[in-house]
Structure 1
């Protein structure tokens, strides 16, 4: 065998090993449908959930989520700011088409529940402050968002409970700060999210 014919073989083996490792990581970290979207390489810029709703009985909920981050206006936001309230947490970013589609509905629900036992908080997973603020101006969003693009600390904080495996994902936290419900993907039926919020608020009555 010529000496020059040997060098490509290790490179090919490394490439194959890398692909296998990547496939194992994806299969272990996401549901099959989400992993399929990663592998398909559709370049749509987001991993779309299927809109499925998960509810957790109060007796089966995990620990309270402890989080802190910096908002688009430079303010510090943390779980302690929402003590005793139901908190709706929406993971989003500005160029995500489903995030834009659900924005008006989320804002309506935010206005509906203001001072009625529930608050809203966004978690922007990709944008810096200027883009997040421009999005809020365009869609009339009045609730704050934590900017999570630099360190991912918000996504990490929720990863041990019911993780936000898609963007957008909306979580409903109970008055104790535990995840009570999740909508994986776009909120296509605001009435479902409204019911989830109302039921969680009623738990504290």
Structure 2
């Protein structure tokens, strides 16, 4: 009898451990109820109401082409930040969709920025060439500064993760995992752009 129970006990303990590790601030906010949205799929989507957003994210980093980018560069417009690395299968699967959405919103109130968490410049550039990605990525493997800046919004090792930042640089929405429905990300971006228009019209 004890031999049969031992594997079950071990599985139960592992499940509890994983449940504890999966907790993160945005998920906790959602479980507490209220006005945040949640869509379950291959990746979960969390939307954060205006009143519940934290402080603007401040960051600085160097891209695969050696250019410095900072959080102040895109203030006033929506910024989509995607955490990825070249050998990540879900990252490869979503790359074309992200580039397509980036092209849709180019000069349309939103821009994209990648954060490569594992690769050096040659691998990142090769990835961009393979998937025709035109938006830049900060190389974060050496310093981890970008991951630290966004640590309140992304769980450790959650790659890919895509964040939508509002015009003030605050996290407005998050897709945890692969973007499997481009239309959802498009809607999140459009809604966040619309917020700025609404705020301007009411001032």
Where on the TM-score scale, by shorter chain, does this alignment land: which range? 0.7 to 0.9
Q: Does 1:118 align with 2:110?
A: yes
Q: Does 1:163 align with 2:151?
A: no
Q: Does 1:78 align with 2:67?
A: no
Please report how far the alpha carbon of residue 31 of structure 1 lies from its aligned counterpart in structure 2 after TM superposition: 3.3
The CA RMSD measured in Å over matched residues stands at 1.8
Which is greater in Rg?
Answer: 1
Match of 2:32 in 1: none
Q: Runs of 5+ in structure 2 lacking a partner?
A: 1-15, 25-40, 198-203
DSSP 3-state at the match of 1:204: helix
**Runs of 4 or more above 3 Å deviation:** 26-32
* Pairs within 5 Å for 1:40-189: 50-160=42-152, 162-165=153-156, 166-189=158-181
Q: 1:164 to 1:77 in 2, by over 3 A?
A: farther
How many residue pairs end up in the alignment?
165
Distance between the aligned counterparts of 2:142 and 2:21, measured in 1? 21
Distance between the aligned counterparts of 1:100 and 1:31, measured in 2? 26
Please report how far the alpha carbon of residue 83 of structure 1 lies from its aligned counterpart in structure 2 after TM superposition: 1.1
Q: Runs of 5+ in structure 1 lacking a partner?
A: 1-22, 33-48
Please report how far the alpha carbon of residue 164 of structure 1 lies from its aligned counterpart in structure 2 after TM superposition: 4.4
Q: 1:157 to 1:28 in 2, by over 3 A?
A: farther
TM-score, normalised to structure 2's length? Answer: 0.77
Distance between the aligned counterparts of 2:20 and 2:150, measured in 1? 17
TM-score, normalised to structure 1's length? Answer: 0.77
Match of 2:36 in 1: none
Distance between the aligned counterparts of 1:28 and 1:77, measured in 2? 35
Distance between the aligned counterparts of 1:53 and 1:192, measured in 2? 9
Distance between the aligned counterparts of 1:89 and 1:29, measured in 2? 24
Distance between the aligned counterparts of 1:31 and 1:96, measured in 2? 22
